Amino acid sequence: MALSCSLRLIRLHACWPVTLKQASLSTAPDEDCRQVAGRNEATRKRWTKEKKPRQDRSLPGLESSWEERLANVATPLWRFPYEEQLKVKSESQKKVLQTLASRLSELGTDKLEITQRPEGLCCPLRSVVPSPVVNGYRNKSTFSVNRGPDGNPKTVGLYVGTGRARNIVCVRANHLENMPEKHKQVAQCYEEFLQQSPLDPCLLFHQGGHWRELTVRTNSSGHTMAIITFHPQDLSQEELCTQKALLKEFFTCGPGVVCNLTSLYFQESTMTRSSHQQSPYQLLYGEPYISEEVLGLKFRISPDAFFQINTAGAEVLYQTVRKLSRADKNTVLLDVCCGTGAIGLSLAHQASKVVGVEVVEQAVEDARWNAAFNGISNCEFHSGKAETVLPQFLMSREDDRLLVAVVNPSRAGLRKRASFFFLRPDNISLVLKEKYTEKKKKI
């Protein structure tokens, strides 16, 4: 994660521990897992060539154990001390800026020669801002269900291997340093439930099966939300109700009660990824939301709403955004891809107005609730795509207050139409982009 500022571009490294990243997973492994596992494996090889890892960091057992292979994929720099991780990422970010400077020069759009810039960078590169928490920091983890190293098709974990090589294996994540113990406990209990269930897991949609991935969300108060995705195939409503009842019983009265869940959700979906609008989240037990406190503000979090994965790191990030934005009472802040509105709300007291844009409607509802609950009245949040909402907002403006945008896109990044909006100097004066990119990929 990084911040970039354009037209006056500023880069700032993430508040997140840069190696402690969980691989993104998909229930249908062929495409997504090939991209994730292959990309992270290539990243690990490149970085380990640049830096010699500590020799005392290895997992018990064989050097090439499945646990160690998963650690290499999900947390590529786990062997390095945190300070070394930050240095590696800083050097990697420097290469991105050097490449950008070279490209701008080739296009003839850079007014300064590369030789006139420090280290050939297209803009200043700021010092790394470290995370205050480096272990067990994830507040959200997604686990897949697939064949494990022993061939068990009901293994709950993360993927190792690639679809192209047809060697994908689902490995339990009990040893990963970035994952809290609560997430590991819920995953272990879900696997126990699957072993008892007469229904098969859904490994590939066309092959049948039902049980799919598990998502666990937690907050700093210890509250836990579990979301289980299920492929209905051709089950009747009565049969679906039976499975939901068994799942609820397991986590509220059976062995899964040790997880002490605050919320248990069930989602029937025939797609790889589904929003609440496409496949509604069904609350089987507990509270509909969990909440988190950041910089003195309380935020409500729905099952599919975006929230920064490292809460303590998010506080450092938002404080840095405050400084870089220089927002004042003559500033309108655009919070693009705003999720639950955390960034915009944390800057609302400085700005004249905050306008948030988010494609996930449930997250927009959370953002509006968060503003009302925290007594913030100078914020408005819109549901829709950035490339649609932003031009409409610009056309409806009736004043000349300064526009500052904070952009926090998903892994896929912004669409070109939305990006062009920020490249026009008559539209906006400053863009803070919260994302570290290398070859357009979030590492």
pLDDT digits (tens, 9 = 90+) for 414-433: 666 666 666 665 555 566 66
Pairing of strands 353-358, 379-383: parallel
Q: In angstroms, rounded to a whole number, what is the distance separating the alpha carbons of residues 358 and 338?
A: 5
pLDDT at 187: 98
Q: What residues contact residue 24 under an 8 Å CB cut-off, 6+ apart? A: 32, 36, 142, 411
Residue 19's pLDDT is what? 36
- Plot region of 85 (φ>0 → left; ψ -120 to 50 → alpha; else → beta): alpha
Q: Which residues are part of a known binding site for S-adenosyl-L-methionine?
A: 308, 358, 408
Say how many C-beta atoms besides its own lie within 10 A of residue 439's C-beta. 8
Q: What is the pTM of this model?
A: 0.80
Kindly indicate the confidence band of residue 188, based on its pLDDT and cuts at 50, 70 and 90: very high
All CATH 2.40.50.1070 domain ranges in the chain, comma separated: 133-292
**pLDDT tens, residue by residue, 130-174:** 999 999 999 999 999 999 999 999 999 999 988 788 889 999 999
pLDDT digit string, tens, across residues 15-71: 344 333 333 333 333 333 333 344 455 545 554 444 444 444 555 443 469 999 999
Q: Give the whole-angstrom CA distance, residue 255 versus residue 187.
A: 13
3.40.50.150, 3.40.309.10, 3.40.1160.10, 3.30.420.40: CATH of 306-434: 3.40.50.150
Q: How far is CA 7 from the centre of its chain?
A: 26
**Mean pLDDT on 280-307:** 94
**CA–CA dist 192, 196 (Å, integer):** 7
Residue pLDDT, tens place only, 271-284: 777 777 788 999 99
Q: Which of 299, 267, 271 is nearest to 283 (CA)?
A: 267
Mapped onto helix, strand or coil, the DSSP state of residue 97 is helix
In contact, 211 and 194? CB cutoff 8 Å: yes
225-254 average pLDDT score: 96
Say how far apart CA 331 and CA 98 lie, in whole Å. 32
User: Which pLDDT does position 102 carry in this prediction?
Assistant: 85
Q: Does domain 133-292 have CATH number 3.30.70.60?
A: no
Token couple for 197: 């269930």
Residues of the chain with CATH 3.40.50.150: 306-434
The region of weakest confidence among 20-24, 67-71, 255-259, 353-357 is 20-24
Q: Residues at the annotated binding site?
A: 308, 358, 408
